Chains A and B, each alone.
Chain A
């Protein structure tokens, strides 16, 4: 019974995962369980396969070998995409003149599951409002997305995933283009979603300068998984020392 309960809490199960372009392996034999409630940071230098791992978990790339299960279901037959939020690395790389208000961007999150000609219901409108208020962007609802700061845009993109009430949220380098002052508040927001809303968070980054106050687990990736464990142990581990000695800018990174 205990094992069944433990299994139910396993949201993502990556086993023996490899991915390559031609003969060059970008990921090699990665095994990584993600458990409900984790605030996991996937760390690694540029080109270490972090984004590839994320895209493979999300079914956007097909692994060369190994398996990915989402909430117990193989990723190829997984359909409950509403339970999973994803903010891609290039989310903020849209045309700054794109005519969409913050509210319209958040509303996009509702759509995938809706039939054609669906009109927004009062309940959905309330969900949009609540998602915007959770990320502190309620007042900017009618402003065009392109006129917000990088940090504000990231908040709107997170709100877009929140309208579908996800239990798991993936963020790929979310602080790119967010200024240092706003970065800390941004991580505070993620921590509050993790603790107060019970959302499991997986954050891909090459920079843990500020995130490390909040994260509970760390996975270090350099083609292979070189470390996976609690954040506290990671700080005293040889992996961190090696990475620092190797010149990987894992702690503080100046752009």
Chain B
């Protein structure tokens, strides 16, 4: 624990990890309940193409990833509403497209190296001061928007048809939620990497939903599980010299197992 007070890079990792994990968990509760759990997985594959393009043109891979991710989120909503594709089909089309484009771009750029790998597997211990500020600002924006629209998002998630009949702009709320997810994924990519970012969205939320009896309760428990995963995961990673991303996600899985066992206990 003392190391966390001593080393600035560990403090930065902790702060950014906590911020992003909480944002992911809050969004995750909505996404899991909407059966959109795989959306994080799909969008993260598209950010891979963005990162590869950024590396190719040697310009801010994170910024290019943002553009790709948000554009894909928008395309996803349109593919579902206008082209009538099922959500999972639209996601499969976009995510495999993103991955294919990323592979080609990375090959052209000859960047199959540590740079690309750090995006695939996360690099929470190498986070810069600027990224801390960026993460804080974007997390505040994501959590603020979700809390501001909490009741409307809840109504749409619970009963789409009644929400529409009572005058809510259902499609606009879908777009808001999907774009927020896209933004959060790019941030999460720095913490646990493209390959594991959807775990930050799905696992704390799924664990919280095992034990929560009210919606506000579910949001709080998911945020708490996410924070606990980051703290315990980082400490384990530092103490045992493990990759931080894997350790964070594995702690989350242990919490999920505990919550599931708690739910299944004989009453």
Contact = CB atoms under 8 A, between A and B. Distances in A.
B149 interface: yes
B112 interface: no
Contact of A88 (B154, B165, B167, B214): B165
B171 interface: no
A160 B158 CA distance: 13
Given A58-B165, A82-B166, A86-B165, A114 B215 contact: no
B167 A94 contact: no
B214 A81 contact: no
A97 interface: yes
Given A97-B209, A99-B218, A116 B149 contact: yes
A246 B229 CA distance: 64
Contacts of A104: 154, 214-216
SS class of chain A's interface: helix, strand, loop or mixed?
loop
B38 interface: no
Interface in A47-103: 58-60, 79, 81-82, 84, 86-88, 90-91, 94-95, 97-101
Nearest to B29: A99
B159 interface: yes
A112 B213 contact: no
B167 A79 contact: yes
Interface in B122-171: 147-149, 151-152, 154-155, 158-159, 161-168
B209 A160 contact: no
Given A60-B161, A88-B159, A88-B165, A98 B33 contact: yes
Interface residues of A, number: 37
Given A60-B165, A81-B166, A81-B167, A112 B148 contact: no
A183 B220 CA distance: 38
Contacts of A95: 33
B258 interface: no
Given A86-B165, A94-B159, A111-B168, 15 more contacts: A60-B164, A82-B167, A84-B165, A86-B161, A91-B162, A99-B213, A101-B215, A104-B215, A108-B151, A108-B154, A108-B155, A110-B151, A112-B163, A144-B213, A164-B166
Interface of B: 33, 147-149, 151-152, 154-155, 158-159, 161-168, 209, 212-218
Interface of A: 58-60, 79, 81-82, 84, 86-88, 90-91, 94-95, 97-101, 104-105, 107-114, 116-118, 142, 144, 157, 160, 164
23 contacts: A58-B165, A59-B165, A60-B161, A60-B164, A79-B167, A82-B166, A86-B162, A88-B161, A94-B159, A97-B209, A99-B209, A99-B213, A99-B217, A100-B215, A108-B154, A109-B166, A111-B151, A112-B152, A114-B151, A117-B147, A117-B148, A144-B214, A160-B162
Task: Please name the 3 residue pairs, one residue from A and one from B, whose CB atoms are nearest each other, closest first.
Answer: A81-B167, A116-B148, A99-B212
